[in-house]
Structures are given as structure tokens and as C-alpha cells.
A and B are shown apart, each in its own frame.
Chain A
């Protein structure tokens, strides 16, 4: 067992090791050291985690929008242990019982005729697999010219060599140029900042969908392999597209023979109040990718789920889809996923996500009335976002120079919240087992934090 040190001296030694030997996310080790070293979490229960000094935090981010069933689920640990004691690992090609059961479960939960799962270990791998399947699918049908991929500005689909070039914008990936060839970027259907000045959700949705069709026509329909999008984009602060968007996108893809890939890595497994978010619009994609909530991050697992129309093209020895990942279909991860899905189902967490999500949304809207810094409040289920602005009339965003996100992040901390703000705003995605009383605690913390920021930056 990995012992958790208790003495201050040992804890500071541990922090020193972290600063010297770990490469952490979204921060560097010099500044982190100046700030007293990284937080080290050692315990978790429900929506709370405890750090090594014994301080308790409410995790409004839910890991990376991933710990759907919450912390402290011993059932998942039991399932993982039982499987690991019995059969630790075997490469896929032969297979193991929990993996088969998981694949069957995914097929039964997924909308429409999505039915065959390629299991992997993370959302990036799942999306890479989806792109590769899409490109190969067309080639196998002799439709050789299709390789371009349409994604949307402001979306995020992962960090590996292919998918890192999807979505995004700005300078976040200039370090890694050149980009993969064939990337096409469509607008994000974010009504609050509609690129086409659509005045209503519907109008923005229709224009953004039409823009997809125009891009296809401009680039040549026969050269486009796939369109990939999150049903609701967390990285665009949970902008929910107007109702016409998804049906229109589905029709456009069908019209031009383009595969529709739904990235349900965040939105899947109840996050938006349905098991999968595209169910809100009764749309069935050709390929769906899932990760995060499928195991609530208790272990790394993800999957690329295809309809049989797609996968049948790869049936038969000569038609093999050529890809292997060492840890793909890991039996221990599969067993954990099954235990996790059982919790989601038996505790009706999808319903709770819808109901408590609505409660949280309404509370945030109330906050907006008292906080001029809140430009927009939006989201679906327990995937919610706040856009923060300097001025509501002009909708002007904060720049890094304003220091807004720094102050806000400090305040969230002071109020016991694990909640990460950027200068654009805040995205909320707590575990789906959250209770109303916990929502009230979070709202209170956000209220106090926003008040301080508004005071410091004189936003009235």
C-alpha cells in the first residue's frame, strides 16, 4: 500500500519530489513551487475530496468532468480487485469475459444501431480510432478521395497527433505545428456569441448548420470523410445548440455521404441528463466515442462505438481494420466500467443529473441577476457554463492581463471549491450524485467569489 505521509517534514519532502520529478498539467513547477507546491489529494467521498493536510474540498469540476458516480465507490474497487486477482490482462484478439459484457452493455445503452465497440484507454485514443475508421471506411468502399475532417472552432477532442488539430483555435497548439492535412473548421453554435448574429437559439443553430453545408460544398463533398462534434461542447462552456442544429447536421452528413462522429466523451453516461446527449435530439451518429463517465475515471477506459453499417465493411479476413493498442480492452478496466454503470443505473444518476442540473442552472441564473460579471448562464443537466464579461452590453471578455481568472481561482479555493476558471468563464460538471444542499453550498461559494472579483476589478 502506498502510505500517505503524516508528518509535515515528510509531506514537504513529497511535495519536493513532485516539483522535481512530475510533469503536471496546466502549470509549471517553478511557479507551483513558489505557490507552496501542488495540492495532493488523498481521500474522496461523494463530491468531496480531502487533501494531504486534511482540508476538504467540493469538486465542482468532477475530476475532468469525469467522476460521474462520485468518489469513494468501494463497489468499483471490489470489482477491479476481483478481476485483477483472477485475470489481470490479456491482449485483445483473444478476449476476456468482462470486456464482452461491457461491449454488450454499451450496445444496449447506445442509441439506434450503434453496436460494435473498439475499446481503448482514453478519449483521445477513442477519437483517433473514430477518425481512422472513418477514413478507412470510405477507402474500403472505393471512395478514395475522402480524408478531410470537419470539426468546430472552440471544441476539444484530445491531445494526440491527429485529434489535437480538431476544434480549438488561437495559439494553444502553435508549439506543435505543422498541423495534420485536411482539417476544416466550422463555427460553434454558441448563441451568446453567434458568428452569424443569429438572434435566437434557432436562428444561430440554423446558420451554423448551414455553414457546415457551405464548407462541405466549398471543399468538395467527395473529399470530406467525417464531421466530429460534441453534442454540447464543454470547452465552449457548455453552449447548447438550438434544436434545429443536430437534425440539420445529421441530414447534411447523409446528403453528402459524410460520417457523423459524436464525441460523447464528456456528455455520455448521464452528464447532460440523458444517458447520451444526442438523445435530446433523437439523433443517432454513425460513430460515437465515450470515455470519462464510462468508468467515472476510476480506471482509464474509453471506446469507439460504431453502427454495423460502418463496421460490416471491415468484416472478413481481408478487410481487417489495422490498429492495435496494448491496453485496449483491459479486463480490469472493463470490470470497473461495468460496476460503475451499474451504480449509474441503480441510483438513477441520469435522472438526478437532469433534475439537480436544472436546479443548479436556475440558481446560477439567480446569481446572474446580482452579478454583472456573468454574461451568460447555460448548459444541460450537470454540464453547465458561465461566460464572464467585463461589460454585459458589449460582451467584452477578460484578457489574461486583467488578472480576472487568477483572482477568481484564488477565491474559489478560499471558498473550498475545486472549480477552475479561465478568463472566458467557468464550466461546472460535478459528480452526478450531487444533492441540492451541496448545490447550495457551491452557489454560495461562487456568489462570494464573484463578489470579490467584481469589487477588485470594479465591475458594477
Chain B
């Protein structure tokens, strides 16, 4: 632990020299932020003042194996000492083994990985492969990409325009990328198309994507990208019909189906990959976060051989390079991380403890009218708050519900950042039921207080 003085000095420097995400340095200064995190084990992290926190967010839903896994540090160290880096024109042993491992654990004929350093890069790579795939087959008109309102696929120049988030408008970065089509999100709690059951909503939302494609000339659509379960709007699990229908629609119109498993992959939803819940094999799958539990930057675009084969042959190679692609140290760390997930059965733990967690949240719902909906799968769970269960109306901005909750969670030792009235839960997959109880009891207390403050009975 650094001395408090030194911690304070560091904190000031961070305000002077760092441009941090989601926060600005003026308001952070006013609130005595940022926290400087110094150590971690399992679900818990420690800050420079010696306070211990439970990380309910799991570091952007990414630290699947939890903190403090020194085995991963050893694996990274051993690799870095021997061969710290080499460009992906030549390759390295860990990059190859990771490619092989991904082919083994991903569903169906997904078998070839383009390794990169983040989810945005993985999705950019997927879009480029999809567009190039059609061109290589002389299907030249295809360039449009279908995504869904309320989804998030990254922040770089192309993928930034996929999905949408009312809380983070993109006007600053206009003009928009050409060819973006937006479908509805199969969220049965607020079904845009009036479906009242998950099945009905799923059916209507999938049909609506088909109509969107038909109305925009199917021969011009290159790809459809979707997260099996979309986190930003609170992890609505689509009805059973949804994914098989999307698969059919893509096949019918010759569209490449891209599953963004950046959050869902590596056990988060109680299966290794969430697409498995519905037995659907996408043409391209992107993975990041849990593949390495964020111990280092790594992600991958995993492609079926049917798509990849268009790029075989000397002159057909894909023109696409990232300096850090297939980084051997990141690959070695990822291999160790996956080994831990497998050895400790963290996927099963996500399913069982996730179900326990969800049941506890359902229990809270019975006592707290402010909870409108509890949903999710495995350890990707969400609680949506409403001012009135019947109308499902949220809260006026002046009530600052998110800020109040952030304050309460903080006072009670939770790292649990809430951006809106939707509380997204994504802890490390090694969480135990007693840790769930701890979190739920803080939630219980905090929601009780909040209900009084905003006058919900």
C-alpha cells in the first residue's frame, strides 16, 4: 500500500495528466476522486486508503476469473522473458495454441481466429471480413450492416455507429458511417413492438429485422451484428424463437451473422458462449474481456471456415493489420485464464450461483415496489427501477436516482456504478452464494432508503 500522502499526491496528478473514461477531472476533484485501486483478490479490491470493495461490475463485466490470480502473472512473465512480441506475419507458440483452443471451444465450424487487442478492434475486424467476403464473391453491392437499438459494439470509427444508447448520443462524432440499419431490441419488458411475452416480443423483433432488410434491398446488406444478450439496456434475454429466427433470416438473404460475445463469452451467461443457449452457430463470433479476464488486452474475431476460405490463396489475403495482433504475452495469459475457467468449472458456477443471485433479486422485487424488472442469465443480471410498476415510468432527472444509488453503494463498500435506472450486475464468475448475500443485503438496504427518499411505497 502506498502511504496516504503519496496516494493523495498521485490522485492530484491523475487529475492533471490523465483523461479518464466516463468521468471528468473537475467533478472528480470536487468529489475527492478518483479512487486509486492497489490490490485485489477474488471479488474484492483495495484502494490506496486501505478500503476494501466488492466489485459487482467485475471491471466492465470482464474479470471472469476474479482478481489476484498470480498464475496468470507467472504465465505472462515466462512468455515475456522468452519472447515478448513478434508481428503476426511470423507467429509464436502461444498465439497458435490460443487459435487452436478457440477453435476447440467455440461452437460449430468457427475455427479460425484473427487475434486483436480489444472488443472494438474485434468487431471492426468482423465488419471488414464480412464486407470483404461479399466482395470476394463478386457480391459487390453488399455493405450495409444491421444492428439493434440499445446495443453497444465498441467505440472506434466504424463500430461506434452500431447500436445506440440514448444516454450517450453520438452527435459529437458525426457524420455517421454510411449503411447503418437499426432494428428493435427484443426486450420483452418494454417491447417496442408491443409483444407481451418473451416469445411474442422475440418473434416480432426478428420479423421486424427481416422487414428492415427487405425494405433496404437485401442484396445490399452485408452483415447483422448482435450480442446474444445485450447489456446496455439491462440484459433482456430474448425469447427462444429469436436467435434461430435471426440465423434463418441471415441464411435466407445471404447475410453474415456476427455474434458479439465480448461480454457474453467465456462463461458469463452460464454457458461457455451464450449462442449455445439457442444452439445457434454464427458465421463470425467476436470475443474479448472474459477471454483474458482483462489481465491484459486481448480479443479475437473467430470465423467459420466457410467465410475464411474466401481469403485462402496467395492473392486473396485480407488486407488488415494491427501491430499487437496475436501478442504472445497476452496469448499466454489468455491460455492460463481459460485453463482456470475450465479447471474450476467457472461456467457451471456462473449458471448455479447466477440462478441463486437472480432468485435473491426476485425476492427483493417482492419487497421493493421500485423494482420493475429482474432479468438476465447466468452472472449477467439486471434490475430495472421504475416509479410505477404499472406504467413502467422511470424517474425525473432532478431526483438523480443513479447518483443517489452510486453514493449509497459506495458508502456500503460496493464498486457498482449505475449509469441510469438500470443496474447491471456482472461480477467475477468465482463469486460464492455468501458473497451474493452480501451484495443483495446492500441492495436491499439501499433500495429501501432510495424508495423513501423518492417517495415510492
Residues of A participating in the B interface, judged by any CB pair closer than 8 Å: 1-5, 14, 17-18, 20-31, 38-44, 49, 51-52, 61, 63-64, 66-67, 71-74, 76-78, 80-81, 84-97, 99-101, 103-104, 106-107, 115-119, 121-125, 128, 131-132, 135-136, 139-140, 147, 159-164, 172-178, 180-182, 291-292, 296-301, 304, 306, 311, 314-317, 319-330, 332-333, 418, 420
Contact in complex: B91, A76 (CB < 8 Å): no
Cα distance, A324 to B57, chains bound together (Å): 15
The main secondary structure of chain B at its interface with chain A is mixed
The contact of B94 among A2, A78, A95, by CB within 8 Å, is: A2
Residues of chain B with a CB closer than 8 A to A315's CB: 24-26
Per-residue A-contact encoding for B113-144, CB less than 8 Å = 1, 0 else: 11101111100100110011001100000010
Let me know if B159 is at the binding interface, CB within 8 A: yes
Choose among A90, A106, A300 the residue that contacts B37 (Cβ–Cβ < 8 A).
A90
Tell me whether B178 and A181 are in contact (CB under 8 A): yes
| Cα separation A135 to B172 with both chains bound (whole Å) | 6
What is the distance, in angstroms, from A218's C-beta to the closest C-beta of chain B?
19
Per CB-CB distance, the 4 closest pairs between chain A and chain B, nearest first, are A162-B157, A161-B158, A21-B99, A84-B73
**Are the C-beta atoms of B88 and A25 separated by less than 8 Å?**
yes
A160 touches B120 (CB 8 A): yes
* Beyond known contacts A38-B91, A93-B22, A128-B156: 6 more, CB 8 A cutoff: A20-B112, A74-B81, A87-B40, A161-B156, A300-B327, A317-B27
Could you say which residues of chain A place their CB within 8 Å of the CB of B320?
25, 159
Decide if A77 touches B172 in the complex (CB within 8 Å): no
B22 / chain A contacts, CB cutoff of 8 Å: 92-93, 320, 324
Interface residues in B62-92 (C-beta closer than 8 Å to A): 62-63, 67-70, 72-92
Residue count of chain B within 8 Å CB distance of chain A: 133
A311 in contact with B19 (CB, 8 Å): yes
Most chain A C-beta atoms within 10 Å of own C-beta, residue among B70, B319, B323 = B323
Known: A30-B312, A96-B36. A116 touches B172 (CB 8 A): no
Q: Is B93 in contact with A298, judged by CB distance below 8 angstroms?
A: no
- Contacts of B10 on A, CB cut-off 8 Å? 97, 100-101
Q: Is the CB of B296 within 8 A of A17?
A: no
Q: Is B179 an interface residue (CB 8 A)?
A: yes
Q: Which residues from chain A contact B38 at a C-beta distance below 8 Å?
A: 86-87, 96-97
Q: Are A125 and B156 within 8 A (Cβ)?
A: yes
Taking CB atoms, residues of chain B closer than 8 Å to A22 are 88, 91, 95-96, 99, 112-113, 115, 326
Task: Say yes or no for B16: interface residue by CB 8 A criterion.
Answer: yes
- Given the interface contacts A23-B113, A326-B60, does A88 sit within 8 Å of B103 by beta carbon? no
Instruction: Select from chain B the residue with minimum beta-carbon distance to A33.
Output: B312
Taking a contact as CB atoms under 8 Å apart, the answer to whether A100 and B75 are in contact is no
Contacts of B124 in A (CB 8 A): 159-161
- The CA of A91 and the CA of B155, in the complex, are separated in Å by 15
* Cβ 8 A contact of B313, one of A31, A74, A139: A31
> Closest CB of chain B to A85's CB: distance in Å?
5
**A71: B residues at CB distance < 8 A:** 83-84
Q: Looking at the complex, which one of B35, B173, B326 makes contact with A132 (CB distance below 8 Å)?
A: B173
Q: Which residue from chain B places its CB closest to the CB of A81 in the assembled complex?
A: B77
Q: Using an 8 Å CB-CB cutoff, how does the interface string of B28-42 with A read, 1 for contact, 0 for none? A: 000001111111100
CA distance A118 to B14 in the complex (A): 11
